[in-house]
Chains A and B, each alone.
Chain A
Amino acid sequence: MTIRFTLNGRPVALDTDPGRRAVDILREDLGALSVKEGCGTGECGACSVLLDGELKLSCLLLAAQLEGREVVTCEGLGDQDAPHALQVAFAEHGAVQCGFCTPGMVLAAESLLRENPDPDREDVRRGLSGNLCRCTGYVKIVDAVQAAARERRGGRRKK
């Protein structure tokens, strides 16, 4: 069956089993390797994507459900040449350790900032509460999200 959707702004037409998981087709067929599979049961947030702008878990979505939708992964926010403010803030604040959880964290943060441009630390913790980091580096992640939020609101980035 052919499934058509948009991935990071580009149209995709993929002939596949509609019962495969979205995380598998994104990684294996489409090379979106920022999408990680951690737990595979919706508990770690590493496979997060934005589906029509909403934060969802690609390990709990089937390929068929992507039909006609818009999928954004961390690759779609920015790349090394033109990084997104959150990606810059994560790098500058050392909010990455092994990096496995980072793409999911960045997407959860992006989703939070779209709803709440000026989150306090508790809001950030709650916004990222579905994302686990086994390196236990949450403090710097919260710092990074707040810094990116400040920048997005028009503040200068501290250099």
Chain B
Amino acid sequence: MTRVLLPATLPELWEALAACPEAPLLAGGTDLLVRLRARRQRPEALVGLERLAELRTIRRQGRGLRIGALATHAMIARHPLVLRHAPVLARAVSEVGGPAIRNMGTLGGNLCTASPAGDSLPALAVLEARVELLSAGGTRLLPLSEFLLGPGRAALAPGEIVGAVRVPLSADFQVQHFEKAGRRAALAIAVVSLAVLARLEKGMVAEARLAVGSAAPTVLRCPEAEEFLRGRRLTLSALERAARAVRAAVRPIDDARASAGYRRQVAGNLLLRLADL
């Protein structure tokens, strides 16, 4: 018999975590239940977060958006505030899995799984999102780059959960791009993905931010390429030079989905699409 605790309020959650400190946390279940099945594990207890309505809301907060960790990919992909203020994130999460997976998987889950291929992560990286961590003791905020430590490793302390993601408004970046290359269009884990924000002034790049997924232990910003694009037009020749910088920065691995060399090549190629925008 597995105990499944479904607290409906944060105080109930802290009680559940204190009672079952070893229990895995279940958000959308799309990673955890697959993992438990693969390892043939039946934990004694699971703590499910799905009934914590306060972690599901998406709203304006100060100069940004606060997206509850329990917001599903489907909710985020169609939410008017996200579409208006952080379209790059809406685009990225609309590429996750298929419709049922997007109805189940959550933003907090995507962060805590900390896969190098997590589709939301490059978008959150270019948005310079911060992760809001909650515990019985209070709240702390971590930049995304300090939260993601490596494949499957996130900077969660015992007794802590991801409560929300804080995303600065990005509507003034006219170019908001996300593209994922996979073995097929739906339900495929990214072979490489790229998120880009660019602010243009008189056709020139005033600021560019690039982040590559699935090509390093965690999502990778490319400051060399960002710097190179500043003050230039998004022409094919400029993008080819920036793509070289991206290929030099990535640290891909060979795995069942693609070779490191292929990932390196595609990581740069994805940038060339910006010439069509």
Contacts and interface: CB of A to CB of B under 8 A. Distances in A.
Interface string B45-57: 0101010000000
Interface string A18-49: 11010000000000000000001111010010
Contact of A67 (B3, B6, B26, B97): B6
A130 B97 contact: yes
Nearest to B28: A60
A112 B99 contact: yes
B277 interface: no
B100 A41 contact: no
B30 interface: yes
A62 B29 CA distance: 9
Interface stretch (A50-58, A74-82, A91-99, A143-151): A50-58
Contacts of A112: 99
B48 A45 contact: no
A60 B98 contact: no
A21 to B, nearest CB: 8
B37 interface: yes
A61 B34 CA distance: 11
A19 B186 contact: no
B185 interface: yes
Contacts of B101: 42, 57, 130
A2 interface: no
A43 B48 CA distance: 22
Contact of B185 (A48, A67, A129): A129
A55 B99 contact: yes
B99 A42 contact: no
A112 B238 CA distance: 41
A65 B100 contact: no
A interface, by DSSP: helix, strand, loop or mixed?
mixed
A136 B14 CA distance: 49
- Contact residues on B (Cβ < 8 Å of other chain), bracket: 20 to 34
A34 to B, nearest CB: 16
A154 to B, nearest CB: 25
A60 B34 contact: yes
Contacts of A18: 1-4
A76 B218 CA distance: 44
A64 interface: yes
B120 to A, nearest CB: 17
A17 B6 CA distance: 15
Interface in B59-98: 74, 97-98
B22 to A, nearest CB: 15
Interface of A: 1, 17-19, 21, 40-43, 45, 48, 54-57, 59-65, 67, 108, 111-112, 126-127, 129-131
Q: Which 5 A-B residue pairings sit nearest by Cβ, starting from the closest? A: A130-B98, A19-B2, A129-B186, A64-B4, A18-B4
Given A19-B4, A43-B187, A60-B30, 11 more contacts: A1-B1, A17-B1, A17-B2, A42-B104, A55-B99, A56-B103, A62-B46, A63-B4, A64-B4, A65-B6, A130-B186
6 contacts: A17-B1, A60-B29, A62-B4, A62-B26, A129-B187, A130-B97
